[in-house]
Amino acid sequence: MKFLSNLKEKVVNVGRIVQTVVRPFKVAFLQFNHKKKIVIIASVFFAIVVLFFGVKSFVFKSKTKGKEEIVAKVKVAKIKKGDFSQKYSVMGTIKGAVENDLRFEIEGALSKYNYKEGTRIYKGSIIAYLDPKDAMTKLSYAKSKYESEKAAYFSAQQKLKVYEDLYKLKAVSESKLIETRFEVEAIRQRMGSAMAELELAQSNLLKTNLFAPSNGILADIIVQSGEFVTPNDIVAKFVSIGDANLEVEISESDVGQVRIGLKTKVFCDAYRDKEFNGAVFEISPIVKERTRSVVVKIRLPNEQGLLRSGMFARGEILLLEAVDVIAVPSDSIVSLGVETKLLPIVKPTLKKQNQGIVELRHIQVSTGTAVEKSIVVTDGVKEGELYITETSGELSDGILVEYMEPVEKQ
């Protein structure tokens, strides 16, 4: 606006000068014939036009000369598409493979192991067993006793039915009927006891087997074959294999970024070259008062039993993962409030190499996080354009800058 006001003032001054110059010739001009008048008018008009555009050219030249001055030297990078991820680093303790003490539930002589130390065993498999002879003898006796009591009970029921029919015909006394009923009940109770003994004998025979409590590994054999054991004796050590958990603490200010189901990568000092992939499966609803942190649990497959309770581990929670997107460093973006984001773009000039005009470009970005170093740009820029990463001076829209060609990473 200032430029237009100055230009208008110069034009007015030119008009005044023209009037001053033309006034003395006004009277003489009236004395010329028509043809000469036309020539004079055309000459004056041409002089005014030349004078006007001379002023305009001077003004614009001065203005342009100011704009062509290099205001700052900057470093730039080329906008590219690629795979982008945001990670949150964590550390904590593994709650992993559990060591179990294996015991028989009954006493007896240990007969045999079905597996050697270090063997992987599936849940329910028989690891070892006691000599079953004594248990089988007791089972046979209990079964025979039960069958005998069962037959006696059946016979007693038949007898009771006959006495009930005779009682209706008044062929037997009421006392005899009551006595028979008591006999049947007594036999029924004996049959029940025999059934309980049979079930116990069956259970004890089953308990001569030592079963694997879960998928795992037979870590250590303590009692050897042929030795007598009781329920108090530890026979062997067994390492259960299943999913392990990594428990980490995340600060109260950052826990909002974490969601159940986010993928993770975990590394242990014990296995430096091995990566354990898992996922967040639990976020505590409680904030610890002393540390202002929240416990987050990561589940890790542990089929080989490598992850043991108490191991220290480091990991990364993958907060965001995007494929074939544009991402720029967050410190290259100018924020004007919550909604407005600007990215300083350099548009190369055709006159000189490594010079360009700055454009503060409005862009759209994805939701950022407190731990990110880059932001995904969803709209406003194109692949191949140059954006400013560092500057030696203040930037504004339309200024001329000198830039260094970005170095392509191999």
pLDDT of residue 359: 93
End-to-end Cα, the chain, rounded Å: 49
- Max mean pLDDT among 196-200, 334-338, 405-409 falls in 196-200
Residue-wise pLDDT tens digits, 116-144: 998 989 999 999 999 999 999 999 999 99
pLDDT of residue 285: 94
Answer for the pair 242, 215: CB distance below 8 angstroms, yes or no. yes
Percentage of the chain exceeding pLDDT 90 = 51
- How far apart are alpha carbons 321 and 315 in whole angstroms? 16
* Mean pLDDT, range 227-240, rounded to an integer: 94
- Token duo for residue 193: 């006891």
Closest by CA position to 108, among listed 258, 241, 229:
229
Residue-wise pLDDT tens digits, 72-97: 889 999 998 888 777 899 999 998 77
HSE-up (13 A, CA, CB side) for residue 261: 1
**Residue 387 CB partners (closer than 8 Å, separation 6+):** 76, 77, 79, 328, 332, 343, 344, 345, 346, 381
* Mean pLDDT, range 200-211, rounded to an integer: 95
Q: Does position 147 have pLDDT exceeding 80, yes or no?
A: yes
- Token duo for residue 316: 């990364």
What is the distance, to the nearest Å, from the Cα of residue 77 to the centroid of all Cα atoms in its chain?
A: 30
Vertex 69: Cα angle to 63 and 70 (nearest 5):
145
Strand order in the sheet with 228-229: 209-211, 126-130, 108-113, 228-229
The pTM score is 0.49
Scanning the structure block, which residue is given the tokens 């390492």?
Answer: 239
pLDDT of residue 46: 55
- How far apart are alpha carbons 242 and 278 in whole angstroms? 13
Does residue 109 or residue 56 have the better pLDDT?
109
pLDDT of residue 48: 52
pLDDT of residue 193: 95
Whole-number mean pLDDT of the chain?
A: 82
What region, left, alpha or beta, does residue 299 occupy, with left being phi > 0 and alpha being psi -120 to 50 degrees?
A: beta
Closest by CA position to 146, among listed 200, 185, 204, 197:
197
- Per-residue confidence at 58, pLDDT binned at 50, 70, 90? very low
Closest by CA position to 91, among listed 322, 323, 265, 349:
265
Burial class (CB in 10 A: 0-12, 13-18, 19+), 36: exposed
